[in-house]
């Protein structure tokens, strides 16, 4: 979990949530997301339980991948980044999405709110909703 003097970031959170086999979902979430966490992806809001249902679903279809951060800014309780998430799915296909993310930190350095927009760079048309699929 982040401390008051440090903040989490998108790469660390995504790595723990999706790219670290064996790491318990609740433990990964508690490291990076405040209890009152909420997220808007491509216009759809999710509270923390809905977000965790989304991640639990992704864990059943993602077997590997990587996160490449292109731009990252942090100031006080605000954070923004532009990153590319590449995932390899259980069927062997690859999905690449560019993500534009704006966030607010809780006082302990974990994410309290994220608002993001995704852009499909590679993958099937039905992969466009991967950022919010449950």
Q: What is the pLDDT of residues 40-63, one digit of tens each?
A: 999 999 999 999 999 999 999 999
d(C-alpha 118, C-alpha 54), whole Å:
15
d(C-alpha 71, C-alpha 98), whole Å:
11
Contacts of 55 (CB under 8 A, 6+ apart): 17, 18, 25, 29
pLDDT at 134 over 90: no
Q: What percent of the chain has pLDDT over 90?
A: 87
pLDDT band at 3 (very low <50, low <70, confident <90, very high): very low
Dihedral, 117, 119, 123, 129 alpha carbons, nearest 10 = 30
In total, the chain counts a number of residues equal to 134
Tens digit of each residue's pLDDT (9 = 90 or more) over 10-45 = 999 999 999 998 999 999 999 999 999 999 999 999
Q: What is the pLDDT of residue 63?
A: 96
For strands 94-105 and 78-89, give the pairing.
Answer: antiparallel
Tens digit of each residue's pLDDT (9 = 90 or more) over 119-129 = 999 999 888 87
Tens digit of each residue's pLDDT (9 = 90 or more) over 65-123 = 999 999 999 999 999 999 999 999 999 999 999 999 999 999 999 999 999 999 999 99
Nearest to residue 104, comparing CAs of 25, 40, 26, 15? 40
Q: Is 115 helix (H, G, I), strand (E, B) or coil?
A: strand
**pTM given for the model:** 0.90
d(C-alpha 110, C-alpha 61), whole Å:
26
DSSP summary character for residue 127: G
Nearest to residue 132, comparing CAs of 41, 29, 47? 41
């Amino acid at each position: 979990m982040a401390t008051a003097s440090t903040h989490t970031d998108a790469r660390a959170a995504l790595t723990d949530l999706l790219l670290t086999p064996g790491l318990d979902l609740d433990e990964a979430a508690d490291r990076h997301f405040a209890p009152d966490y909420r997220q808007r992806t491509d216009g759809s809001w999710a509270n923390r339980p809905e977000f965790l249902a989304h991640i639990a679903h992704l864990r059943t279809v993602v077997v590997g991948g990587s996160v490449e951060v292109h731009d990252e800014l942090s100031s006080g309780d605000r954070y923004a980044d532009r990153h590319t998430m590449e995932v390899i799915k259980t069927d062997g296909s690859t999905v690449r999405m560019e993500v534009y993310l704006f966030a607010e930190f809780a006082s302990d350095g974990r994410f309290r709110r994220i608002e993001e927009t995704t852009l499909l760079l590679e993958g099937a048309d039905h992969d466009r909703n991967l950022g919010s699929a449950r």
